[in-house]
Amino acid sequence: MCSSRHNDVSRRKARRHRHQLRIVAATGTGLPRHRRCNQRNFPVLAALQKSPEPHARNAANTIQHLWFNVESTFRGGVIAGDVEEKTQKSGILSDTPDLTTIRIATMKERMMYDVKDLSVKPGKKVKLTFVNEDFMPHNLLLVQPGKIDEIANQALVMGAKGFETGFIPDNKNIIWHSKLLDAGKEEVIEFTTPTNPGDYPYMCSFPGHHIIMRGMLHVK
Ligand SMILES: [Cu+2]
């Protein structure tokens, strides 16, 4: 009895997601770009990415890829745009011999962090506030040099199960990570920078995001 009711609920949910998917997909094509942009529905896209139906999740991830990764290439790259729109309130907020405080936020509807580069001394205590100002869920991982793709691919194959772990795979090359933060949430992370100088990348491991949602912590 209980399980058939549950099935009804998930069937209804799947039906609603298929319907929403058609709406979202329709806004992605066939219209001039200036009109299409205004019709993107980011909260619906975010909901579809959590759908129990794999078809809906896959399609939503494809749309996400088109909206962010492909179109940002058409605009001539994302780095230049990011520098222009960098907000004042993020970056290194204070720096004393004992502690560096840092803020990194996500940018609304851009699938990017608002800080792409940071420089901190080796073995330094850091208090980092990570703020999700976007509609979609995002996380923040500091990883060993050269390991972004390996970790992103591991997170990608987690499918819907990824939500249980916040898309954090079991990988020794993750130095630290935040939780998967929903819209409007923030988390404070305290850590000590690596003692080995080097360029340590940070990334979002939500499927498809790492391509442009990344930055570099220069430890020097
Ligand atoms: Cu993300």
* Residue 139 alpha carbon to ligand 1 centre in Å: 6
Under 8 Å between Cβ of 122 and 194: yes
| pLDDT in the model for residue 121 | 96
Q: Write out the DSSP string of 77-140.
A: -SHHHHHHH--TTSEEEEE-SS-EEEEEEBPTTT-SBS--EEEE-TT-EEEEEEE--SSS-B--
Domain locations in the chain as residue ranges: 2-77, 91-219
Q: What is the pLDDT of residue 198?
A: 97
Distance 214 CA to ligand 1 centre (A): 9
Q: Which of 210, 184, 200 is nearest to 113 (CA)?
A: 210
List pLDDT tens digits, range 132-153.
999 999 999 999 999 999 999 9
Sheet holding 198-203, edge to edge: 117-120, 214-219, 198-203, 141-143, 174-177
pTM: predicted TM-score of the whole model, two decimal places: 0.72
Averaged pLDDT, 72-90: 53
Of the two residues 142 and 61, the one the predictor is more confident about is 142
Asked if 119 contacts 199 with a C-beta cutoff of 8 angstroms, the reply is: no
Token pair listed for 97? 């011999």
Specify the CATH architecture of the domain 91-219. Sandwich (2.60)
Q: Specify the pLDDT at position 37.
A: 46
* Measured distance CA(107)–CA(98) in Å, rounded: 30
What's the 98 CA to ligand 1 centre distance in angstroms? 31
Amino acid, single-letter form, for residue 65: H
